[in-house]
Amino acid sequence: MNNDNHDLIVELEKSRAILADKVSHIGEALDVPARVVRKLREQPRWVYWVGGTVLVGAVVLTAFIPRRKHYHPPVAVAPTVTSRTLTALGVLLGVAKIAFPIVRPTLTAYATQALANITKNRMR
């Protein structure tokens, strides 16, 4: 019995070591900034190629592509809010606050019935 437990413990330790090694490799693979820095240190010529490509692209964009004139439509002026509008809005919100608790049971019953009909029709 003790030998079986010992073998199981040894196998678990091996599995944990393998899993820890795989997790560390995954972490290294997902660490993009560290991989870029490592690649730049290993192959510095790569930096010159990328830098030269960016520089040539910038020169081509600025020198050979004509600029277009953009049309900017006039900016619309926002309507002004008057005290009359705010009063009407306040009255409307007050009425809604009073009416909603009264209408809520009816709305709930209607929504429940509509949902039951939809599910019943889909089950057929």
Residue 47: partners with Cβ closer than 8 Å, 6 or more residues away: 40
Return the higher-pLDDT residue of 79 and 14. 14
Instruction: Check: CB of residue 39 under 8 Å from CB of residue 46.
Output: yes
| 66, pLDDT greater than 80 | no
In this prediction, residue 1 carries a pLDDT of 57
In this prediction, residue 123 carries a pLDDT of 67
In the chain, % of residues over pLDDT 70: 96
Q: How many CA atoms lie within 13 A of 52 on its CB side?
A: 6
Quote the pTM value: 0.29
Q: Which two tokens stand for residue 88?
A: 């009407």
State the average pLDDT over residues 71-93: 83
Return the higher-pLDDT residue of 75 and 91. 91
pLDDT digits (tens, 9 = 90+) for 20-59: 888 887 877 788 888 878 877 887 776 777 788 888 888 8
In this prediction, residue 121 carries a pLDDT of 76
Across the chain, mean pLDDT equals 82
Instruction: Check: CB of residue 28 under 8 Å from CB of residue 34.
Output: yes
Give the whole-angstrom CA distance, residue 22 versus residue 14: 12
Residue 29: partners with Cβ closer than 8 Å, 6 or more residues away: 35
